[in-house]
Amino acid sequence: MGYALKETKYRFRAWTKDGAWDGGSLTEDKNITIHEGSNVFHYGQAIFEGLKAYKHQNGKVYLFRPDLNFERINGGMERIVAPRIPEKLFFEAITSVAKANIDDIPEYGTGQSLYMRPFVIGQGMNLGVKPSDEYLLSVFCAPVGVYFKGGLQALDFITTQYDRAAGNGMGKVKFAGNYGASLYPRKQAKDAGYAGVIYLDPQTHSKIDEVGAANFFAVTHDNVLVTPKSPTILESITRRSILYLAEHYLGMKVEERECFVDNISEFKEAGACGTAAIITPIKSITHQGNVHQFGDGNVGPTIKKLYDLLVGIYYGDVEAPEGWLHELKLD
Ligand code: PLP
Ligand code: COI
């Protein structure tokens, strides 16, 4: 099972009225009827999130670090000039959807999980370029397997001359338009036989920013875990988790700093990380016709260790740091 959508029965919807959120409710209706003048259609006023629920061996279900999705979505809300989502509403939305679709949460041992997609759109009649008066928060979900084909298999990526986000733009938030902008470079990369795109920093095109739908990280020849420091990338929850695991579980030195594409040979291992991507090892990066292969092209030892730790934590087989797992209470 990949990211082909299997529809689940229930989704959650909450609406604003006069700037305040209602309590929201579950619905079986997968269609949304909104005004043709809605900002989401014309001016792209939309953000989204992605998080997963995992079934552990003991049968209990846990969400992975949903507090960070809550913080991030509200960062995005501010940036698209939409009203803050209260914590109670966000948690009610995600937990009620996971509970209502409990039969679709994949079993422990399948390597699958329930991917949850909260999103917010500006809606209601509007013509001028200004924030909407009304908003919808919705959450739907689907059982998923791996995002990049092949599971823990190293894949080939290519840089692009296109940018997914502008220098002082929306790269930091999970703004729908960033993904619209990524479709064409993604198609080019796929058509040329690559698994995905590596974006460079939009200002100078000399530094690695991130992967189309995941962050980039790499391991130097002297075993430092490095991940780009850049104002234009999404602050990945998986990346934060990997940095912590590298430092506290593997005793590695970690650095957030610029990663110059011309100096890519400083790395012996590289990977893409994200909720959907989990950890996807990068076999090679092609840049301006030059192919740089990391190590022997197979999954490197540090990436394998990080993958085992992270996935072990997802499924409850490795002890999680305090506060990382949010139990879905079923009563
Ligand atoms: N970067 C981009 C552009 C993404 O779409 C994602 C996916 O959410 C990530 C990075 C990884 O973020 P996270 O680990 O929070 O899922
Ligand atoms: C995620 O990992 O949650 C993402 O947003 C990637 C995706 C767009 C499927």
Rg (CA), the chain: 20
Task: Give the number of other Cβ atoms within 10 Å of residue 127's Cβ.
Answer: 8
> The pTM is what?
0.96
> What distance in Å separates the CA atoms of residue 331 and residue 316, rounded to the nearest whole number?
21
Q: How confident is the model at residue 145 (pLDDT cuts 50, 70, 90)?
A: confident
Which ligand 2 atom is nearest residue 277's CA? 2
Each residue's pLDDT tens digit, 154-169: 999 999 999 999 999 9
Helical (H) or strand (E) element with 219: strand 214-220
Cα separations in angstroms, 96 against 56, 62, 89, 93? 19, 13, 10, 6
For residue 330, pLDDT beyond 70: yes
Q: What is the pLDDT of residue 6?
A: 85
147 touches 213 (CB < 8 A): yes
Q: How far is CA 299 from CA 159, 295, 303, 305, in A?
A: 20, 9, 7, 10
Which pLDDT belongs to residue 52?
98
In angstroms, how far is the first alpha carbon of the chain from the final one?
A: 30
Distances (CA, A) of 43 to 123, 125, 135, 165, 192: 11, 12, 14, 16, 32
């209470």: which residue's tokens? 329
Phi and psi at residue 198, to the nearest 5°: -105, 120
**Ligand 2 pocket check for 69: Cβ under 6 Å:** no
pLDDT at residue 36 tops 80: yes
CATH of 155-314, one of 3.20.10.10, 3.40.50.1390, 2.40.30.10, 3.30.470.20: 3.20.10.10
Q: What pLDDT, on a 0 to 100 scale, did the predictor assign at position 267? A: 98
In this structure, the residue with its CA closest to atom 3 of ligand 2 is 50
Res. 101 pLDDT band, cuts 50 70 90: very high
Query: How confident is the model over 202-225, as pLDDT tens digits?
Result: 999 999 999 989 999 999 999 999
Q: What is the mean pLDDT of residues 256-261?
A: 98
Q: What is the pLDDT of residue 310?
A: 97
Contact 93, 137 (CB under 8 A): yes
Average pLDDT, the chain: 96
Ligand 2, residue 50: give the atom nearest the CA.
Answer: 3
Q: What is the DSSP letter of 59?
A: S
Q: Say yes or no to pLDDT of 4 above 80.
A: no
Between 24-33, 34-43, 144-153, 239-248, the lowest mean confidence (pLDDT) is in 144-153
Alpha-carbon span 270 to 283, nearest angstrom: 8
Please say if the pLDDT value at position 146 is more than 80: no
Which residue lies with its CA nearest to atom 5 of ligand 1? 213
Residue 1: pLDDT above 60? no
Pocket probe mutation, ligand 1, options 209, 238, 278, 307, max atoms within 8 Å of Cβ: 238
User: Pocket residues for ligand 1 (CB within 6 Å)?
Assistant: 50, 210, 213-215, 234, 236-239, 274-275
Going through 229-289 in order, the beta strands assigned E by DSSP cover 253-257, 267-274, 278-287
- The label of the residue with tokens 């913080």 reads 71
Which atom of ligand 2 lies at the shortest distance from residue 238's CA? 2
Q: For CATH 3.30.470.10, list the domain ranges present in the chain.
A: 11-144
Q: Where in the chain is the domain with CATH 3.20.10.10?
A: 155-314
- Determine if residue 136 is left, alpha or beta; phi over 0 gives left, psi from -120 to 50 gives alpha, anything else beta: beta
Spatial distance between the Cα atoms of 47 and 179, rounded to a whole number of angstroms: 10
Nearest CA to ligand 1 atom 9: 214
Best mutation site among 3, 147, 197 for ligand 2 pocket (most ligand atoms within 8 Å of CB) = 147
- Within 10 angstroms of residue 101's Cβ, the number of other Cβ atoms is 22
Which residue shows structure tokens 């699958």? 112
How would CATH label the architecture of 11-144?
2-Layer Sandwich (3.30)
CA distance 144 to 112: 6
β-pairing verdict for 253-257 and 224-228: parallel
Ligand 2 mutation target, pool 234, 275, 310, 314, most atoms within 8 A of CB: 275
Helices (H), the chain: 39-42, 66-79, 87-100, 176-191, 237-248, 301-314
Q: What percent of the chain has pLDDT over 90?
A: 93
